[in-house]
Chain A
Amino acid sequence: MALATASGPSNATAPTFGVAGTRRWILPVATFGLLAIIAIAVNPNVPSWMDIGLQKWVRDRYMWTVQNSNSSWIFTGVFNPLSDAINWLVESVQWILRTLRWPGVLALFAAIGWMTAGMRAAVSGGLAMAGIAVLDVWEPAMVTLSIMVTAVGIALVIGIPVGIWTSRSDRAERIVRGFLDTAQVMPAFVYLIPVTIFFGIKYPPAVIATVIYAVPPAVRLTSLGLRSVPTVMNEVGESFGCTSWQQLLKVQLPMARKTILLGLNQVIMMAFGIVVIASLLGADDLGNLVLKGLQKNDVGAAFVPGLGIVLLAVALDRISTGERSTSTRPPLIKLPTVERRTGTLIALGSVVVAAAVAKLADITAIPDALAVDISGTINDAVGWVQDNLRKGVPIIGGTQAINDFLVTDVLEPLRKFLVWLPWLLVVVVVAGIAYLSKGWRLAVGCSICLLLIGTMGDIPGGADGRTHLWDLSMDTLSQVLVAIVISVAIALPLGVWAGRSDRAQQVMRPFLDTAQVMPQFVYLIPVLFLFGVGRGAGVVASVIYAIPPCIRLTGLGLREVPYTPREAAISFGATKRQELVKVQLPLAFRSIMLGINQTILMVLATVIIAALVGAGALGLVAYEGFTKPIQKIGQSAAAGLSIVFLAIVLDRITQAWGTSPEQQRRS
Chain B
Amino acid sequence: MKTHRRSVKLLAASLALTGLLVACGSDDEETTDAPAGTEAPGATEAPAEGGDTPATGEGIVLAVNPWTGSAVNANVAKVVLESLGTPVELLDIDENATWVGMDDGSIDAVLEVWPSGHAADYETYITGKQSVVDLGLLGPSAKIGWYVPTFVIEEHPELATWEGFQDPELAKLFSTAESGDDLGQFLMGDPSYVTFDEQIIANLELPLKYVVAGSEAGLITSIQQSIDEKTPLLLQFWQPHWLQSKVDLTEVKLPEVTEECLASAAAGDGLYACDYAVDELYKAASAGLEAKNATAFKVLKNLQLTTDQQNEIAAMIDSDGMAPGEAAAAWVAANADVVAAWSA
A residues adjacent to B (C-beta < 8 A)? 63, 66-67, 69-70, 84, 87, 91, 94-96, 98-100, 115, 139, 142-143, 192-193, 196-197, 200-202, 249-250, 254, 257, 279-282, 284, 288, 291-292, 294-297, 331-333, 340-341, 344, 348, 351-352, 355-356, 359, 362, 364, 403-404, 406-408, 412, 461, 465, 524-525, 528-529, 532-536, 611-616, 620, 623-624, 626-631
Contacts and interface: CB of A to CB of B under 8 A. Distances in A.
A66 B124 contact: yes
A589 to B, nearest CB: 32
Nearest to A66: B124
Interface in B31-59: 32-33, 36-37, 39-42, 45, 48-49
A343 to B, nearest CB: 10
A196 B16 CA distance: 36
Given A200-B104, A407-B178, A282 B28 contact: no
B17 A348 contact: yes
A291 B65 CA distance: 11
B10 A115 contact: yes
A471 B10 CA distance: 55
Given A197-B100, A201-B93, A630-B124, A67 B129 contact: yes
A575 to B, nearest CB: 43
A389 B243 CA distance: 25
Nearest to B92: A288
A152 to B, nearest CB: 15
A196 B100 contact: yes
B275 interface: no
Interface in B1-46: 1, 3-4, 6-7, 9-10, 13, 16-18, 20-21, 24-25, 28-29, 32-33, 36-37, 39-42, 45
A66 B103 contact: yes
Given A67-B129, A616-B212, A528 B221 contact: yes
B340 to A, nearest CB: 32
Contact of A282 (B25, B92, B222): B92
A332 B3 contact: yes
A99 B25 contact: yes
B10 to A, nearest CB: 5
B178 A528 contact: no
B9 A614 contact: no
Contact of A404 (B6, B42, B120, B177): B177
A136 to B, nearest CB: 12
Contacts of B101: 196, 200-201, 282
A197 B100 CA distance: 6
Contacts of A94: 40-42
Given A193-B96, A626-B94, 4 more contacts: A139-B40, A280-B97, A296-B242, A331-B6
Main SS at interface, chain A: helix
A201 B106 contact: yes
A69 B211 CA distance: 37
B131 A525 contact: no
Contacts of A115: 10, 13
Given A66-B103, A69-B103, A193-B97, A201 B214 contact: no
B1 A532 contact: no
A505 B90 CA distance: 45
Interface string B165-191: 000000000001110100000010011
B225 interface: yes
B3 A254 contact: yes
- Per CB-CB distance, the 7 closest pairs between chain A and chain B, nearest first, are A627-B192, A99-B25, A407-B177, A630-B120, A282-B93, A534-B178, A528-B221
Contact of A627 (B25, B33, B67, B191): B191
B89 to A, nearest CB: 10
